[in-house]
Amino acid sequence: MVEAASHFDVLLNKFLAEQAMTVSIYNPISKVNSDRVNGLESKNDARNALTNATPTLANAAPATSNPANTNPASNNEDIVHLMPSLTDLKKPHADQEFIDRALAEERSNHKNLIASSRDELPSVLVNGVMIDRTAIAQEVQYHPAKNKEDAVFLATQALVVRELLRLAIVSDNELGESAWAEDEEKAISALIDKNVKATIPDAATCERYYEQNIEDFITDPVMSVRHILLACLPEDGEERLKLKKTAYDYIEQIQSDSNPAAAFIELARQHSACPSKEQGGDLGVISKGQTVPEFEKVLFKLETGLAPSPIESRYGFHVVEVLNKQQGIQMTYEQVSAAISNKLSQKAFHQSLCDYLFTLADDAEIEGIDMVLSQENIFRG
SS3 19: coil
Which of the listed ranges 20-24, 98-102, 117-121, 278-282 does the model predict with the highest average pLDDT?
A: 278-282
Average pLDDT, the chain: 75
Mean per-residue pLDDT, 123-135: 87
Q: Which domains does the chain have, with CATH numbers?
A: 8-56+99-200+337-378 (no CATH), 221-326 (3.10.50.40)
Q: How confident is the model at residue 24 (pLDDT cuts 50, 70, 90)?
A: very low
Instruction: Please report which confidence band the pLDDT of residue 99 belongs to, taking 50, 70 and 90 as the band edges.
Output: low
CB-CB neighbours of 103 under 10 Å: 14
325 versus 369: which is more confidently predicted?
325
For range 245-258, the mean pLDDT: 96
Q: What is the pLDDT of residue 83?
A: 34
What backbone phi and psi angles, to 5 degrees, belong to 273?
-90, 5
pLDDT of residue 96: 54
Q: Does residue 380 surpass a pLDDT of 50?
A: no
The predicted pLDDT at position 335 comes to 94
- Confidence class of residue 1 from pLDDT cuts 50, 70 and 90? low
pLDDT category, 94, cuts 50, 70, 90? very low
CA 4 to CA 2: how far, in whole Å? 6
pLDDT at residue 367 in the model: 87
pLDDT at position 61 over 60: no
Quick check: helix, strand or coil at residue 152?
helix
**CA 2 to CA 133: how far, in whole Å?**
10
What is the pLDDT at residue 34? Answer: 35
Taking 80 as the threshold, does the pLDDT of residue 279 lie above it?
yes
Q: What is the mean pLDDT of residues 352-378?
A: 80
User: CA–CA separation, 324 vs 304, rounded Å?
Assistant: 6
Mean pLDDT calculated for residue range 349-361: 89
Query: Does residue 75 surpass a pLDDT of 50?
Result: no
Rounded CA separation 172/204 (Å): 38
DSSP 71-132: SPP--HHHHHHHS--HHHHTSTTS-HHHHHHHHHHHHHHHHHHHHHHHTTS---EETTEEBP
Tell me the mean pLDDT in the region 320-331.
93
Phi, psi values for residue 37, rounded to 5°: -125, 125
User: Using a CB cutoff of 8 Å and minimum separation of 24, what contacts does 248-253 make?
Assistant: 248/309, 248/310, 250/319, 251/306, 251/307, 251/308, 251/309, 251/310, 251/319
